[in-house]
Amino acid sequence: MMNGDFLALLPKNPFGQLSGGKAGEELTLHATTVFAFHCSAGVIMAGDHRATAGNTIFSDKTEKILELDAHSMMAIAGSPAVAFEMARTLQTTFEFYRRSQLQSMSLAAKIRSLSKLLRDNLPATLQGFGAVSPLFAGIETDDPNARPIIQFYDPLGAQFEAANFASSGSGSPTIRSVLHFLEKWGNPRPQDMSLEQAVVLANRLLMTAAEFDAATGGVHPDRRLYSTLKLLTRHGIQSLTVDEHERYWQRAES
């Protein structure tokens, strides 16, 4: 029965799987869990390091939080090859605009640029091997009172602004549920947390998602393995180091 949701038909598409040595073996690579939320310092964007193909772990060192310019970044879930190419295209586009127009591209134009790339990727999305469902965070640099925003996209390019948080990938339902609970009943709520509290929360969210989703790479403080995490503020993008992760984690657990 047709229900009007053609994305639900993608797993049935024979082009969605590439047969290898075994019939029906899925070889398409996927990046898994990413999320973003507001905290008192700005917007936290984080993700795990795992890339999978079916039930095979291809990598636990995948970087999924990509800086597009000094004031915008994206988190990737879906096909890494397509997502990385989209990021490179946006980086080049934003830099060319800045140099040729002697000013930064507007935030609205950046948001639409990613939407257009997703729409242009429709053939690969329909075939089931090139779908990307990214998150975007940015700030309007021309407005001194502007706050960072979070946008999430469907694989066809439709964009939506997230009020407080957004997530994408296989572990996203768990993370979205926890963030919703904390925003409604937490004390403090994520949007009121300090940077240190938000970093600890991000790592705990990935640990929780990994308990219920095999495709999500977990956080292992005993091995100094933490999430990839970046903070967007009015002043730009800050990447959290392993030492900062460890210091914040040890304080929270002590």
d(CA 178, CA 160): 20
d(CA 55, CA 106): 41
Given the residues 28, 32, 52, 216, the one annotated as active site: 32
Active site residue 28: no
Q: Which of 233, 162, 244 is nearest to 202 (CA)?
A: 244
Hey, what amino acid is at 61? K
Q: Largest Cα–Cα distance in the chain?
A: 57
Q: Convert 87-115 to b/e letters by CB count within 10 Å (16 or more is b).
A: bebbeebbeebeeeeeebbebeebbebbb
d(CA 19, CA 9): 19
The residues assigned a catalytic role are 32
